[in-house]
Amino acid sequence: MRIAFFSTKPYDRIWFEPMGKDYGFDIHFIELPFNEDTVYLAQGHDAVCLFVNDYANAAMIEQLHQMGIRAILLRSAGFNHVDIQAADGKIPVLRVPSYSPEAVAEYAMAMILTVNRYTHKAYNRTRDFNMNINGFMGTDLHHKVAGVIGTGKIGQAMIRIFKGFQMQILAYDPYPNPNLDVKYVEIEELMQKSDFISLHCPLTEQTKNIINKETISMMKDGVFLVNTSRGGLINTEDLIEALLAKKFGGVGLDVYEEEEGLFYEDRSGDIMQDENLARLTTFPNVLITSHMGFFTVEAMQAIATETLENAYAVEHGLELKNIVKP
């Protein structure tokens, strides 16, 4: 099987290159993202492998179908960047449903602790031998209320971490897990009662901009919000408006609504054209990182293994256990 592997970074090769050879695959690593301008590069391959900021719309899927592409391999759990309806019956779309839920949940907690206790700012201050702690007062997590939106594998890992801090936990999910020892509530109650809110749901038509002017107005003053899932869960302009009104104690964003073309790239020499992202970086209580919550040794190895297992199943006509259906 010949696989066109898009949005390649050096760390992708560490696992995919040797493992691909073990599977007998011919992987072509392409640094360019997968989009309407680069879809032609898939010609002559059996499958394409996409990352979170690549996309495949209906027209592109039809092009892939005409090329004879047998599979769209996603090296991610999310699949909102592919038109699943258009692909149905033409090309199977296979994802990595679980690589390391703990990696993302642990990172979400790291963001909460950082933005709450100002460790990133304290580090910069003490490097200049400024030992003044003024302005760095945080709040205890112990016995506070944590709201978890989305109780899949990552959400469940987050709940376990919150329990370790002896926090009271409220959860919201349209499909509650009856085997999970947690209190499910409606989204309104979670917004109203939570001191810390962590987002762990996929981006769908139902969850797009679930954090907006209306839901923000329900939240407590001084609430902390962390998003390590998908940027589109938050309406950025409404978030900025609330930050200006000093609604939040702190915000941690590992994802951003318009991150395509920005995250995973070095733009340090460019003038930032995205006014909302530039504005977010000016708030002292906002921490932004570049979609790296998943980035651990264990997670990367698991992503490579599961992605190549998906390709192997396609090549040998096996059950496609990770196929995404409309």
Residues ≥6 apart with Cβ < 8 Å to 18: none
Is residue 291 annotated as a catalytic residue, yes or no? yes
Lookup: tokens for 104: 């993302």
In whole angstroms, give the CA distance from residue 197 to residue 318: 41
Any idea which residue has 């493992």 for tokens?
Answer: 19
Name the strand (E) or helix (H) holding 309.
Answer: helix 297-315
Lookup: tokens for 126: 């003490």
In whole angstroms, give the CA distance from residue 27 to residue 5: 7
Phi-psi region of 166 (alpha: psi -120 to 50; beta: other; left: phi over 0): left
Among candidate residues 259, 265, 306, 319, the one labeled active-site is: 259
Closest CA to 157 of 228, 81, 80: 228
Q: Is 86 in contact with 57 (CB distance < 8 Å)?
A: yes
Partners of 223 in beta bridges: 248
Among candidate residues 45, 95, 200, 291, the one labeled active-site is: 291
Lookup: tokens for 275: 């006014």
Among candidate residues 81, 230, 257, 306, the one labeled active-site is: 230
Measuring CA to CA, how many Å separate 293 from each of 157, 260, 288?
13, 16, 11
> What are residue 134's phi and psi, to 5 degrees?
-60, 130
Is residue 259 annotated as a catalytic residue, yes or no? yes
Lookup: tokens for 82: 């592919």
Q: 19: helix, coil or strand?
A: helix
Active site (catalytic) residues: 230, 259, 291
